[in-house]
Homo-oligomer: A and B are copies of this chain.
Amino acid sequence: MNTATKSESIEWAEHRVEARTGGAWQVPAGCLLRVTDIEGSQTGDVFLVDAADVADGLSNGRSFDYNDSILLSVGSRLYSSRSKVLATIVADDVGRHDFLYTPCSQEMYEIQYGVTAPHPNCYDNLTDALAQFGVPRSTVTVAFNIFMISSVSADGRLTVSPTQSKRGDSIVFRAERDLLAAVSSCSSDTCNGGGSRPLQVSIGTVR
């Protein structure tokens, strides 16, 4: 009897996203994007863009529609505004993420918290990081907010609860086409149970 075996190894390139900052990377089709909560209790914003069309980015509405759900986890596919499959969630230690809220922004901190000085925020982190790849700011709409817990009550009211992510928990996306992926470590105390902490971003290439 012949038994076919396939040896597969994954080579990981590691990047650290410091608290309240962001970064962006190229993730070729078939490669993996893993985001790890290094210390625990930290949420992050992930925004994906079609590398071949920088005006076409992640869409919560398309993803809700094609997954028939607002809660996405292993097996769920993330879609772009133009209905392209950008990524599939292939591993998920936490299992709960938000896709209803826009990234926190300077304007959000001003409107909701009365902040007057510049405040670190996910919108600027994501858009600044993606700008190096020529992605216009307007492409960034609603990010996939990993480890963030939002709840919808029967009357439509929204509430945000502190994340249940623990030290070392991660989520892994497989790129279904060539992507630009931005990750921000969220600065909002509401989501993170106070404070802000770093995230680890790992880009995995299957050999």
Q: Which of A65-80 contact B (CB under 8 A)?
A: 65-66, 68-71
A61 and B100 contact, Cβ closer than 8 Å, known pairs A71-B156, A138-B55: yes
Flag whether A167 is at the interface (Cβ < 8 A): no
Query: A156 and B70: CB pair below 8 A?
Result: yes
Flag whether A111 is at the interface (Cβ < 8 A): yes
Query: A56 and B138: CB pair below 8 A?
Result: yes
Q: Contact check: which of B55, B56, B65, B101 meets A64 at CB < 8 Å? A: B101
Q: Pick the interface stretch among A14-22, A86-94, A102-110.
A: A102-110
Binary flags per residue of A127-147, CB closer than 8 Å to B gives 1, else 0: 000000000111101100000
Contact size range, A? 35 or more
Flag whether A192 is at the interface (Cβ < 8 A): no
Binary flags per residue of A155-185, CB closer than 8 Å to B gives 1, else 0: 1111100000000000000000000000000
Tell me the bound Cα distance from A70 to B152 in angstroms.
8
CB distance from A65 to the nearest CB of B (A): 5
Tell me the bound Cα distance from A121 to B70 in angstroms.
23
| A105 surroundings in chain B (CB, below 8 A) | 82-83
Flag whether A62 is at the interface (Cβ < 8 A): yes
The 8 A-B residue pairs with the shortest CB-CB distance in the complex, in nearest-first order = A71-B156, A61-B102, A83-B107, A61-B142, A55-B138, A69-B156, A70-B156, A62-B102
5 contacts between A and B (CB under 8 A): A56-B138, A59-B142, A64-B158, A68-B157, A70-B158
State the A residues within 8 Å of B (CB).
55-56, 59-62, 64-66, 68-71, 81-83, 100-102, 105, 107-108, 111-112, 136-139, 141-142, 152, 155-159
Question: Other than the known A61-B101, A68-B159, A71-B155, what 18 A-B pairs have Cβ atoms closer than 8 Å?
Answer: A55-B136, A59-B102, A59-B142, A60-B61, A60-B100, A61-B141, A64-B100, A65-B102, A65-B108, A66-B112, A68-B158, A70-B100, A70-B152, A70-B156, A71-B156, A83-B108, A136-B138, A152-B152
